Amino acid sequence: MKKLIVGMGLSLVAATSLAGLLDGAWLKGTTDKDPLTYRPGETMTFTLTPQGLDGAVPAGEYFLDWKRSDDYGATETGREPFTGAPFVYRTKLDKPGFVRLEAYVVDKNGKRYTKKFLGDATTPEGRRAMNEFERRKKAVFFDGGAGVSIEALTTHEEPKDFDAFWAKQYARLDLVPIQDAKIELASPNPKARLYAVRIDCAGLRPVTGYLTVPKAVDDGATFPCRLETHGYSGDRCTHFKPGWCRDNEIVLNMNAHGLKLVEFGATEADTKALRWEVRSHDQAYAFDAKQNEDPEVAYFNGMVLRVKRGLQYLKTVKGWNGKDLIAAGGSQGGLQTIWAAGCGEGVTRAESSITWCCDMYNNNIRRERKISSDGWYIPWTESMGYYDAANFAKRIPAQTCHTFITRAGLGDYCCPPMGLAKLWNNIPGNKEIRWVQGSEHGYVPPEYEGRDFVREVK
């Protein structure tokens, strides 16, 4: 018994001595050249350098599990001792596409290290910091990559009647007058007004959201208009008024579903009913392949029409300057932003981040063949070609719209780099993209030299 107690004490001492060693650590990933400029068969050299270590790493305590994969299904894995020294890995790809390199710090049993919060949670600031920490990924890891001849990547053939199909859908919208209902709310900004709005639209549900208008409009001032769109909401089906209110833009912050807002009498019963309504064959909204076989009843159909109607409505709001029409959003909101820019309503600036649903045909192949993906892809049917962001991108007018892909993560396999490259290739011009090394869908590493790579065409 005495021996057991001594042993436990030694283990506790060892664990205590390692506490905090990796809790501020992260892996900085770089390549030997711009990661978007490799050619087929050219050697890529990745260097992963540990940052933020709080002391020397004991020999034999930690290891680096790594995996190399690519857009064509080839994989390689390995495990190296983690000593705090840089890890260098070389590979190549013989055709256009991307290589992905993932690496995680693990213990001697192969369990990924999980960071612990090191701050003081007894103060309000500390509690906010802890809450922010809890929302982050807690591994010590790198997830990034590099591309080969990405300018040569092309999308799956689009539907031959793409433009005729959308002309027919937009004609449905033309039959519905632009009419709204507004309820003014207390504004957090004394220089702007805040409204809950409902706007008539074609399809099953209206446009709903929150409109902010600078009070200077009353004195004849005019402003840009901005449409803000939302990421994938799953079964939440809620939208609450924003805690901000700009006084330099007119902003419509709209949800994806046209859900009833609490200001218009929505109850928990309405929310629960909508959660069931948006599902189809017990699939999360937009994921039902059977529903998606018919492009006119696909869940995305109503979303596109609401985006277009939101833009149409903004152009009627008193105080618009008549020239600046902006669309912005991330992930599903990024997809809606590309729809907005390509739907013919005169968007002058599109700010799309980590854009979802680019190259849906090949994303489905990824999922089926388990090729470097997170699986969060809409099942492919031919109808999805009408909604693919990369196809809408071709309709963005280069002369009048500046398109910003504000973040394309080289480790984001919810929105794979190959799809983002194809989106970029399809935008006619007047565009900018920021590729971020080591960035996943929900994670961006700290800034460092060799993290961001910007391309611009005017």
Residue 16 reports pLDDT greater than 60? no
Residue that is last in its domain, among 105, 120, 152: 152
Residue that is last in its domain, among 152, 174, 206: 152
Among 51, 49, 68, which residue's Cα sits nearest to residue 146? 68
Residue that is last in its domain, among 152, 187, 222: 152
Domain CATH code at residue 264? 3.40.50.1820
Tell whether 11 is covered by a domain.
no
Tell whether 238 is covered by a domain.
yes
Tell whether 366 is covered by a domain.
yes
Q: Are residues 234 and 122 in the same domain?
A: no
In this predicted model, what pLDDT tens digit does every residue of 34-93 receive, in sequence order? 999 999 999 999 999 999 999 999 999 999 999 999 999 999 999 999 999 999 999 999
Q: Are residues 333 and 396 in the same domain?
A: yes
Residue 449 reports pLDDT greater than 90? yes
Among 392, 324, 383, which residue's Cα sits nearest to residue 352? 392
What's the rounded Cα separation, in Å, for the pair 57 and 54?
9
Determine the number of helices (DSSP H) and then strands (DSSP E) in the chain. 10, 17
Number of domains the chain contains = 2
- Residue 150 has phi, psi (to 5 degrees) of -70, -20
Q: Are residues 88 and 168 in the same domain?
A: no
Tell whether 353 is covered by a domain.
yes
Q: Are residues 221 and 362 in the same domain?
A: yes
Tell whether 61 is covered by a domain.
yes
Q: Are residues 166 and 285 in the same domain?
A: yes
Extended beta strands in 239-371, E state: 250-254, 320-330, 349-353
The reported pLDDT for the residue numbered 305 is: 98
Domain limits for position 60: 21-152
Tell whether 136 is covered by a domain.
yes
Tell whether 12 is covered by a domain.
no
Q: Are residues 75 and 204 in the same domain?
A: no
pLDDT band at 126 (very low <50, low <70, confident <90, very high): confident
Q: Are residues 127 and 222 in the same domain?
A: no
Kindly state the average pLDDT of the residues 277-292: 95
Tell whether 5 is covered by a domain.
no
Residue 195 reports pLDDT greater than 70? yes
Q: Are residues 302 and 264 in the same domain?
A: yes
- What is the share, in percent, of the chain residues with pLDDT greater than 70? 96
Q: Are residues 258 and 356 in the same domain?
A: yes
Mean pLDDT in the chain?
A: 93
Q: Are residues 148 and 279 in the same domain?
A: no
Q: Are residues 206 and 117 in the same domain?
A: no
Q: What angle do helix axes 162-174 and 299-314 make, rounded to 10 degrees?
A: 60
pLDDT band at 455 (very low <50, low <70, confident <90, very high): very high
In this predicted model, what pLDDT tens digit does every residue of 133-163 receive, in sequence order? 787 889 999 999 999 999 999 999 999 999 9
Q: Are residues 270 and 345 in the same domain?
A: yes
